[in-house]
Amino acid sequence: MSDKTTITEQLPRHIAIVMDGNGRWAERRGERRNAGHRAGVNATRRIVEACGQLGIDALTLFAFSSENWQRPPSEVGMLMALFIEALGREVKSLHEKNVRLQFIGERSLLSEKLQRKMSDSELLTAANGGLQLYVAVSYGGRWDITNAARRLVEEVAHSGLTPGQVTEERLHQCLALAAVKDPDLFIRTGGEHRISNFLLWNLAYTELYFTDALWPDFGPADLELAVREYQQRQRRYGRVPQQHEEPG
Ligand code: IPE
Ligand code: IPE
Ligand code: MG
């Protein structure tokens, strides 16, 4: 990365990425979509490493959405096999880099083998204080909010929670990313300008950045461009320019 001294000022603490464009990347090269997903894993490794080096606190990656279950079974099967393979291969080196790996999403829909790999990786890296890496698998923003509502209803039944006690803060605490600050910067590769049911609640005041680069082509230099654009933004949170600091 060039000129690290200036880029570290006002760094986004949490970056969320929709890693889109694997299929098109492969199709443009006359290859099968699966080749794009494989190349996507390599891009993921490079970006995780770059975020660690930059000193980003948290990175949340959208790997497989609630809606992606509707893809052809062959592609879903290949993606699931790829997750298992990539986890097996990458976790040790993530651990060595002090990365804490966690997963968000509806795990009960995943194979037992994948679920086991996920919880083993979480356990192995649980005490790591470097980059906090969240991978969203079988995740949807609506699933997340619905799940939170379900938990609140359980609290009504078990501890007598009353309607007046249902606050934004309490609901937030029931969400998948309760333990981390909301993303400062959202990046979507692949040219589409939409959220596609990613972190609906947590993106309320996130700065949005879209790039045409396809995920397998997205590298540290592209990440740096996104961060530099973020650093030009003025975050106001609904206030007037003179008071644009983050609300307490
Ligand atoms: C993103 O790439 C990866 C997943 C959704 C699993 P796509 O597979 O959506 O690639 P495109 O958008 O078809 O190019
Ligand atoms: C969003 O990409 C989900 C992930 C990158 C995991 P999609 O390719 O599934 O989104 P749409 O279908 O273009 O909205
Ligand atoms: Mg896509």
Would 95 be classed as within a structural domain?
A: yes
E-strand ranges in the chain read: 14-18, 58-65, 100-104, 132-139, 185-188, 207-210
- Whichever domain contains 36, its CATH number is 3.40.1180.10
Q: Is residue 41 part of a domain?
A: yes
User: Is residue 101 one of the residues assigned to a domain?
Assistant: yes
Interval 75-114: pLDDT, tens? 999 999 999 999 999 999 999 999 999 999 999 999 999 9
User: DSSP string covering 58-125, please?
Assistant: EEEEEEEEGGGGGS-HHHHHHHHHHHHHHHHHHHHHHHHTTPEEEEES-GGGS-HHHHHHHHHHHHHH
Mean pLDDT value across residues 63-80: 98
Name the burial class of residue 163, with classes exposed (0-12), middle (13-18) and buried (19+) by CB atoms within 10 angstroms of its CB: exposed
Write out pLDDT tens, residues 32-42. 999 999 999 99
For residue 241, tell me if it sits in a domain: no
List Cβ neighbours of 155 (8 Å cut-off, separation of 6 or more).
Answer: 161
Whether 66 is covered by a domain: the verdict is: yes
- Residue 235 CA to residue 237 CA, distance in Å, equals 6
Mean pLDDT of the 1-22 span: 86
Residue 243 pLDDT class (50, 70, 90 cuts): confident
Residue 129 vs residue 241, higher pLDDT: 129
Instruction: Say if 173 falls within a structural domain.
Output: no
Residue 242's pLDDT is 81
Question: How many separate domains does the chain show?
Answer: 1
Q: What percent of the chain has pLDDT over 70?
A: 96
- From the CA of 215, the nearest ligand is 1
Tokens for 201?
Answer: 């609640």
Which one is predicted more confidently, 52 or 244?
52
188: domain range? 4-139+183-232
Mean pLDDT taken over the chain: 96
Ligand 1 atom nearest residue 33's Cα:
8
Catalytically annotated residues: 20, 68
Least distant ligand from the CA of 61: 2
- Domain assignment present for residue 53? The answer is yes
The answer to whether residue 169 is domain-embedded is no
Split at pLDDT 50, 70, 90, the class of 3 is low
